[in-house]
Structure formats: structure tokens, C-alpha cells
Amino acid sequence: MTTSKQLLMAYDQQLRTDAETPGAMAVKRLGPLRLVTFAGGRGFVTYQDLDGASAETIAQWVVDALAFYREDPAIVRVEWKTRGHDHAPGLTAALLKNGFMPEEAESIMIGPASALGVDVTLPPGVSLRRVTEEPDIRAMSAMQDKVFSSPVSDGNADAILRRVAHDDGMELWVAEYRGLIVSAGRLEPVPDTEFAGIWGGATREEWRGRGIYRAVTAARARAALSLGKRFIHSDSTEYSRPILERYGLLRVSTTTPFCWRR
């Protein structure tokens, strides 16, 4: 049996690399940090570890990283992705001092894809499919924006469409009822690793509790298995964490995004 400690080690070694940022427009190194620029004016800071740095060094990295993004007027939002198991003295205080605000903490969930890829009975009239065409992708993105209480954004849909055009392996799965997308999520196979990620899982409030999110997750897990992936990973909210735990995924750590907005 694979233990939580072993899964976390695999996560740190295999996923906290360039594999973490598919679709990046540019990546600049600052010590162990990777300062990533995405389309749509979004910056993203991540790293495999902080090399045992002191609180003073980490505080300076926060200042320097933000200065890098401030120099580009196109950047309107920067996310600094923290993990609960990292040794990062003074990081939270430095982020807060420089205008980064914490968002909701999520659970890092990992487990065997085979445990998730089971048959799930859908409510009458609901069906699953993979989507690849622009109208479907825009409808899916708009539904996710609404579920996550964000303004419906053409920018989010445009970013997904750019990735689809580059054919980087991402798959988009939806559940529909009479042409209405009621749940959706994407699968992110990670090249040269044993992992695939499941992201963006969202279900309309009035359709929750009927097994639909579970079915979308199972479809993505089966797709991952067909690609030779062994493990599924996900940053999960408290809505999805219990579902994933029931099917064998383990909570190996937490992640909290700290966001700065221009």
C-alpha cells in the first residue's frame, strides 16, 4: 500500500517542476522560485522547496518577485502558491506585508486512478461527454465562473481555448441535461510522470448531491488510466474532498493561494 508520506514525496518530486505550469508564456527564476507568466495578465509563483532559506531571505524574495510583476503593466493578478508542509519561515507575514491576501485553503488529494474510475449511475436525462468545440467550452467556462462566484470571463474561456489549440493533453468533461451543462471538470495528464490532475470541478447548486460530480470525476479517472497514468491529484475544496476520500484518495497536505491584485 502506498502511504500518505510516499504520495507526498512523489508529489514534491514529480509535480513541483515545470510540469506544474502547462501553458506558461514565460518562466523566470529567482533563487528556487519560478515566476510564471500566463496569458490574461496572470502571474504565478511556485517552487519545489525553499532550500532552507531564512525568514530574511524569504522576505526579500517576496519583495523582488512582486517588483518583477509590477514592472509589467499587463499583469493584474499574482498568485503565490503555498503548501502546508513546506518549511517557509516568515513567508505568510512577508506575503501579507506586501499586499498578498490569503484565499480559501484547499486539501492536496492524491490516490490511485483505478479507485476513482468506477461506474456511476446518473440521474435520468443526464449524460457525460468530452467537449472540444468552442461553443461548448465557452458554455462550460461560464458555468464554472458562476459556480465559483466569479464574473463570467471571456478571458478564462480564451485561455482554455488557447490550450486546446496547442493540444497539450488537457481533456474537458461535462455532464449535461437537455443541452444545459450542469457539471464539468478538466483532466491534466502530467507528461513524464505517473500523475494526472483533476481540476475545475464545478456543479450547479441545484444539481448537487445526485452523484453527478462523482460521475464526471470517474470519467476523467478512466481517461487517465487509458493514458497510462497511475495516480490522480487534485487541490480540493471542502465540497469535493469528502467525495474523493470515500474513493481512496488521501489528504497529504494543504495548499493556500495568496493573491495580489493591481
Helices (H) and strands (E) in the chain, counts: 8, 12
Q: Domain 111-254 classified CATH 3.40.50.300?
A: no
Q: Which fold has domain 4-107?
A: Aminopeptidase (3.40.630)
pTM as predicted: 0.84
Q: How far is CA 233 from the centre of its chain?
A: 9
Amino acid at 76: V
Q: Per-residue confidence of the chain (262 residues) as pLDDT tens digits? A: 568 999 999 999 999 988 888 778 999 999 999 999 998 899 999 999 999 999 999 999 999 999 999 999 999 999 999 999 999 999 999 999 999 999 999 999 999 999 888 889 999 999 999 999 999 999 999 999 999 888 888 888 998 998 888 888 999 999 999 999 999 999 999 999 999 999 988 999 999 999 999 999 999 999 999 999 999 999 988 888 888 898 889 999 999 999 999 9
3-state secondary structure of 79: strand
3-state secondary structure of 249: coil
Describe the chain by its helix, strand, coil percentages, rounded to 5.
35, 30, 35
Segments making up each domain of the chain, as ranges: 4-107, 111-254
pLDDT of 114 reads: 93
- Please return the burial class of 149, using the count of CB atoms within 10 Å of its CB with bins 0-12, 13-18 and 19+: exposed
pLDDT of 78 reads: 98
Say yes or no: do domains 4-107 and 111-254 share a fold. Answer: yes
